[in-house]
Amino acid sequence: MRIGVLTAGGDCPGLNAVIRSVVHRAVTGHGDEVIGFEDGFKGLLDGHYRPLDLDSVSGILARGGTILGSARLERGRLREAAESADELGRKYGIDALIPIGGEGTLTAARMLSDAGMPVVGVPKTIDNDISSTDRTFGFDTAVMVATEAIDRLKTTAESHQRVMVVEVMGRHAGWIALESGMAGGAHGICLPERPFEVDSIVKMVEERFARGKKFAVICVAEGAHPAEGSMHYVRGEIDQFGHERFEGIGNHLAGELERRLGKEARPVILGHVQRGGTPTAYDRVLATRFGWHAVEAVHNGDFGKMTSLNGTSVSMVPLAEAVTRLKTVPENRMFEAESVF
């Protein structure tokens, strides 16, 4: 068989581990040929690809980013790809395509699959917000990076008796904020799923200071926003790729807390540092398992599906199921964390 693989959307730690695993399983396990399209669906449409053999994936397991490059593609070009799905398959002589990506990529994968291309998706995102899978690789690494940041911020906050507001990624789902906030023992956590009351955060910080604790760390997801009338905040605009560009809730909240508390507050925006660098052992293992199962799905003719983690097992779920809604943080997880505002 000849299998095409590509990585699309925002990158995340573990993409190279999937590519390596696909090549290893396909070449060694089945005697297949693998080609890698460059820069996501752009490579598929524009004919930019290269053969991937065992040598070309040697040494990439622990490397962040993606050796194939990644890009977000406008909807119009995706439709173009779907309309010529048959032709594209013939052009490259591929028997199957394995796109690795987040919600947008999996939606595109579904479009191609509906148009007749044999597709097996692999979900990825540091945000962990893809439904139909318990986890996505990249998330564990992002949580580790954010947790380390909270640990570090606590010591400097304490030295200066400051409030630190650390903003982590997560536009629509607050998984990174929830888990890094819990792991780092943040005193406040703000999620996109629940508008927060600034008054409650002010009260919590005042009570801490009254108890002799002279600092506080608030972990806020980039998509979190204040409850109506709780603080002036304008949501961001939608960019040309359909993403909301936030004004920076971390900066706003730190400024507001400083004004209301009369104590120094500092914002720390972690940004893309959460997406860069080497994946954790957990993410390497999950990515490797997903790659292995994707190739097996190709050989079983299990198309129009994506790999999924269910408890501890990897199974295949229909792409149609996975891309209908985002997996957001449920109420019961917020209760367990205790410090969600």
Locate 326 and state its tokens: 């985002």
State yes or no: residue 10 binds ligand F6P (CB under 6 A): yes
Which residues ranging from 30 to 89 are in contact with ligand F6P (CB under 6 A)? none
Three-class SS of 65-91: CCCCCCCCCCHHHHHHHHHCHHHHHHH
State yes or no: residue 14 binds ligand F6P (CB under 6 A): no
State yes or no: residue 184 binds ligand F6P (CB under 6 A): no
Q: How far is CA 245 from the centre of its chain?
A: 16
**Chain residue whose CB lies nearest ligand F6P:** 169
State yes or no: residue 101 binds ligand F6P (CB under 6 A): no
State yes or no: residue 99 binds ligand F6P (CB under 6 A): no
Q: Given the DSSP bridges, would you call strands 188-190 and 237-238 parallel, antiparallel or unpaired?
A: unpaired
DSSP state letters, 175-200: HHHHHHHHHHT-SEEEBTTBPBPHHH
Binds ligand F6P by CB under 6 A, chosen from 25, 42, 154, 171: 171
Cβ within 8 Å of residue 68, ≥6 positions away: 5, 6, 7, 15, 19, 36, 37, 38, 39, 43
State yes or no: residue 104 binds ligand F6P (CB under 6 A): no
Q: Taking the complex as a whole, how short is the minimal distance between the CB of residue 169 and ligand F6P, in angstroms?
A: 3
**Torsion angle defined by CA atoms of residues 337, 327, 311 and 309, in that order, rounded to the nearest 10 degrees:** -140
- Coil/strand/helix, residue 302: coil
Q: Which is nearer to ligand F6P, 236 or 318 (CB)?
A: 236
Q: Which is nearer to ligand F6P, 112 or 126 (CB)?
A: 126
Query: Does the annotation place 174 within a ligand binding site?
Result: no
Query: Which of 11, 32, 39, 127 is labelled catalytic?
Result: 127
Q: Which is nearer to ligand F6P, 71 or 183 (CB)?
A: 71
The answer to whether residues 194 and 247 touch, using CB atoms and an 8 Å cutoff, is no
32 among known catalytic residues: no
Q: Which is nearer to ligand F6P, 25 or 275 (CB)?
A: 275
Give the number of residues in contact with ligand F6P, rule: CB under 6 A. Answer: 10
Query: Does the annotation place 259 within a ligand binding site?
Result: no
Cβ within 8 Å of residue 30, ≥6 positions away: 1, 295, 299
Which residues ranging from 123 to 152 are in contact with ligand F6P (CB under 6 A)? 125-127
Q: Which of 18-26, 122-130, 144-152, 227-235 is the region at the interface with ligand F6P (rule: CB under 6 A)?
A: 122-130
Helices (H), 211-327: 249-261, 281-300, 319-322
Phi, psi of 36 (to 5 degrees): -110, 125
Q: Facing residues of 138 across strands?
A: none
State yes or no: residue 219 binds ligand F6P (CB under 6 A): no
State yes or no: residue 275 binds ligand F6P (CB under 6 A): yes
Binding residues: 10, 72-73, 102-105, 125-127, 162, 169-171, 222, 266, 272-275
Q: Which residues are catalytic?
A: 127
Q: Where do contacts with ligand F6P occur on this chain (CB under 6 A)? A: 10, 102, 125-127, 169-171, 222, 275
